[in-house]
């Protein structure tokens, strides 16, 4: 049970020490076009590596029709068009596709979503998930059909719940069944006894390659894939049912939007866009985004390809908010001051060959966490201090919540024994993980409790309550997390708003009583 989460997404592996998990342009390899003969138009090259692109359209449906025609002429094929936000997902073997399509009237931006070619796939790949049989569903329901109890068996190990007063909140309300939190992640196993009672199948789908699929419970992870989404889902809404752990909002529903590539655990733009749009159109109240959009740790708007990714995810997240969803995202695990003027990025692109680059923060964004309207979450440990790995930044971090830290740095009070976060994993199991990935679902759960208490509240009103109800946390002076006598990070701001904790610790009790 004391398994430590792997480092991809926003989770961390934290053994005795710690482990973790801006602007270079990208031009796919190969020549752009064949040489024209006798003044004839250049032939479009279609034998390059098959790449994925997003094309962001302006000007309504007539412009979209024109752009789609131009996409075909440039050697692209439309995978899916999200006309409601003007984003088209395209595959092409033309190495100059993005450069060509950016010249078309009605195109705001266009760019490759990755630096690695697409893997060979068949048309059935999106549907190739394990089915949820009737027998599995009945068995899960039978395991979960237990009388409600005051405390689930593993709840004494969950120091994170009292840290944000969730244990007190549960005596007043567990949250509403009319509220759904969508987990955009690696997938959720809805047969887990702590997940099954609260799972929303209607709002769940796989979004791999940007296409939503529900067939055969496509939202579920399969053996060998990451359990990151499972852990996140349990923190949000593990049922209070006399089994396992307890979620922050154990009475609300949780949905799975599978957006992480099953082979690489990378979160590409087309999948993220699909997830936000699906959430928007299926009544989701809160989205949880414990990842950054790959392959760039920071997407720089001065780079044509990366600007297209920022535009696409911005459109999608804003669309979800316009339909009533509060979007909550992880600040990241690189111990970085996101408010600094420049940041050194040595990890991008992470799907081919990372190179060191110095990025300017006014131009380059971690998406979706730094997009307009998104709630950006830092992490704390069991002592209430910023977690050793957590990113921070005055004006960037909005709020904080327990994400866990090395037990050597921030040991919890008994009866808890581990400084990481305990939640659900595969095979009806449970494990400890740490990261801003783990902090984010705590805030998503509190947002769900606020929406439960105030069902007609707009996303702006939910966020205003979230920040106003947060418990102030002053900057530690100094911040020496490992006790070696050296300052590990500098916290700027006041007790009411600072770079480590934003508005403070998310408060579940106030969410249900105010």
Quote the CA–CA distance of 173 and 148 in Å, as a whole number: 13
Question: Do the Cβ atoms of 359 and 300 come closer than 8 Å?
Answer: yes
pLDDT of res. 223 = 82
Q: Residue 153 corresponds to which tokens in the numbers above?
A: 């068996």
> Can you give the CATH number for the domain in which 158 is found?
3.40.50.200
3-class SS at 180?
strand
22 lies in a domain?
no
Residues 317 and 386 in one domain: yes
The answer to the question of residue 12 being in a domain is no
Q: What is the pLDDT of residue 11?
A: 58
**Distance, CA of 488 to CA of 151 (rounded, Å):** 38
Please name the helix (run of DSSP H) or strand (run of DSSP E) that holds residue 61, with its range, or none: helix 60-73
Looking at the domain assignment, is residue 13 inside a domain?
Answer: no
Q: Are residues 191 and 91 in the same domain?
A: no
Residues 504 and 446 in one domain: yes
Do 96 and 151 share a domain, yes or no? Answer: no
* Boundary-marking domain end, from 69, 100, 116: 116
The reply to whether 75 and 218 lie within a common domain is no
Q: How many domains does the chain have?
A: 2
> What pLDDT does residue 31 have?
34
Half-sphere exposure of 410 (CA within 13 A, CB side): 28
184/276 same-domain check: yes
262 falls within a domain: yes
The span from the CA of 272 to the CA of 275, in Å, is 5
- Look at residue 175 and tell me if it is in a domain: yes
pLDDT of residue 42: 53
CA distance 497 to 501: 7
Q: What is the CATH number of the domain that holds 88?
A: 3.30.70.1510
Give the tokens for residue 460.
Answer: 């702006």
Asked if 404 contacts 373 with a C-beta cutoff of 8 angstroms, the reply is: no
CA–CA distance from 181 to each of 148, 176, 249, 324 (Å)?
A: 22, 11, 10, 12
Angle, in degrees to the nearest 10, between helices 228-237 and 436-453: 30
- Point out the domain boundary residue: 66, 98, 116: 116
Same domain? For 76 and 160 the reply is no
Give the residues across from 330 on adjacent strands: 377
Within this chain, do residues 91 and 202 fall inside the same structural domain, yes or no? no
Which residue carries 């923060």 as its tokens? Answer: 361
- The beta strands (E) that lie in 34-86 are given as 51-57, 76-82
Same structural domain, 319 and 389: yes
Tokens 């600094």 sit on residue: 340
CA 363 to chain centre: 21
Q: Are 505 and 400 in contact (CB under 8 A)?
A: yes
Q: Is 268 part of any domain?
A: yes
d(CA 37, CA 43): 9
pLDDT one-digit tens code per residue, 167-206:
999 999 999 999 999 999 999 999 999 999 999 999 999 9
* Cα–chain center distance at 116: 21
Asked if residue 441 lies in contact with residue 288, where contact means CB atoms within 8 angstroms, the answer is: yes
> Has residue 355 been placed in a domain?
yes
Beta-sheet strands, E only, within 114-179 = none
One-character DSSP codes across 384-440: SSBPTT--B-TTT--EEEE----TTTSPPPTT---SSEEEE-STT-EEEEBSHHHHH
* Dihedral (CA of 500, 502, 506, 507) sign: positive
3-state SS assignment for residue 330 = strand
Task: Let me know whether 208 and 71 are in one domain.
Answer: no
Is 272 found in the same domain as 411?
yes
Q: What Rg, from alpha-carbon coordinates, does the chain have?
A: 22
Please answer whether residues 505 and 471 qualify as being in contact, where contact means their C-beta atoms are separated by less than 8 angstroms: yes
| pLDDT of 61 | 73
Burial 393-427 (b: 16+ CB within 10 A, else e): bbebbbbbbbbbbbbebbbbeeebebbbbbbbbee
Chain mean position to CA 406: 23
129 in any annotated domain: no
Which residues in the chain land under pLDDT 50?
1-10, 13-41, 121-148
Confidence (pLDDT) at 9: 45
CA dist 257 and 284 (Å) reads 11
Q: Is residue 338 within 8 Å of residue 370, measured between CB atoms?
A: yes
Cβ neighbors of 359 (< 8 A, separation 6 or more) are 22, 23, 298, 300, 342, 343, 344, 345
- Count Cβ atoms below 10 Å from residue 370 Cβ, excluding itself: 21
Q: Among candidates 319, 317, 8, 333, which has minimal Cα distance to 186?
A: 8
Task: List strands edge to edge, sheet with 180-185.
Answer: 205-206, 253-258, 180-185, 286-289, 326-330, 375-380, 399-402
3-state secondary structure of 228: helix
Tokens of 266: 């990378």
Domain carrying residue 92: 51-116
Both 112 and 150 in a single domain?
A: no
Full-model pTM: 0.88
Taking the C-alpha atoms of residue 426 and residue 20, their distance in angstroms, rounded to an integer, is: 22
Are 169 and 162 in contact, with CB atoms under 8 Å apart? Answer: no
Angle subtended by helix axes 304-322 and 269-280, to nearest 10: 10
Q: Is 133 helix (H, G, I), strand (E, B) or coil?
A: coil
Domain end (from 65, 96, 116): 116
Quick one: pLDDT at residue 44? Answer: 73
């Amino acid at each position: 049970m004391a398994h430590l989460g792997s480092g991809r997404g926003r989770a961390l592996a934290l053994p005795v020490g710690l482990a973790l998990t801006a602007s270079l342009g990208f031009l796919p390899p190969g020549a752009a076009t064949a040489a024209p003969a006798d003044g004839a138009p250049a032939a479009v090259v279609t034998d390059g590596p098959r790449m994925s692109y997003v094309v962001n359209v302006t000007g309504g449906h007539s412009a979209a029709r024109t752009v789609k025609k131009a996409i075909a002429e440039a050697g692209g094929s439309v995978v899916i068009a999200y006309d409601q936000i003007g984003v088209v997902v395209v595959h092409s073997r033309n190495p100059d596709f993005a450069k060509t399509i950016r010249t078309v009237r009605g195109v705001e931006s266009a760019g490759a979503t990755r630096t690695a070619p697409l893997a060979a796939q068949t048309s059935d790949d999106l549907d190739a998930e394990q089915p949820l049989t009737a027998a599995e569903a009945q068995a899960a329901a039978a395991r979960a059909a237990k009388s409600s109890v005051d405390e689930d068996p593993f709840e004494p190990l969950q120091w994170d719940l009292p840290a944000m007063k969730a244990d007190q909140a549960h005596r007043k309300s567990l949250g509403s069944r009319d509220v759904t939190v969508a987990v955009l992640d690696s997938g959720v196993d809805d047969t887990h006894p702590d997940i099954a009672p609260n799972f929303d199948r209607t709002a769940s789908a796989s979004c791999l390659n940007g296409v939503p699929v529900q067939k055969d419970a496509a939202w579920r992870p399969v053996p060998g894939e990451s359990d990151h989404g499972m852990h996140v889902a349990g923190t949000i809404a593990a049922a209070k049912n006399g089994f396992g752990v307890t979620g922050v909002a154990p009475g609300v529903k949780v949905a799975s939007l599978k957006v992480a590539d099953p082979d690489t655990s990378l979160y590409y733009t087309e999948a993220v866009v699909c997830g936000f749009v699906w959430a928007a159109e299926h009544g989701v109240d809160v989205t949880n985004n414990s990842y950054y959009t790959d392959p760039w740790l920071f997407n720089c708007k001065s780079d044509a390809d990366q600007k297209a990714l920022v535009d696409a995810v911005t459109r999608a997240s804003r669309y979800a908010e316009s339909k009533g969803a509060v979007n909550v995202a992880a600040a990241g695990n690189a111990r970085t001051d996101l408010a600094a003027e420049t940041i050194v990025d040595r990890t991008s692109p992470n799907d081919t060959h990372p190179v060191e680059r110095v990025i300017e923060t006014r131009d380059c964004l971690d998406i979706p966490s730094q997009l307009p309207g998104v709630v950006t979450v830092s992490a704390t440990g069991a002592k209430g201090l910023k977690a050793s790995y957590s990113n921070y930044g005055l004006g960037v971090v909005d709020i904080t919540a327990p994400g866990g830290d090395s037990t050597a740095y921030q040991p919890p009070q008994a009866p808890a024994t581990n400084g990481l976060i305990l939640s659900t994993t595969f095979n009806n199991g449970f494990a400890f993980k740490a990261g801003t990935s783990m902090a984010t679902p705590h805030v998503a759960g509190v947002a769900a409790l606020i929406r439960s208490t105030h069902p007609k509240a707009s996303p702006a009103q939910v966020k205003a309550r979230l920040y106003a109800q947060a418990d102030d946390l002053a900057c530690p002076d100094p911040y020496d997390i490992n006790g070696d006598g050296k300052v590990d990070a500098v916290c700027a701001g006041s007790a009411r708003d600072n770079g480590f904790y934003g508005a403070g610790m998310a408060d579940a009790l106030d969410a249900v009583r105010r």
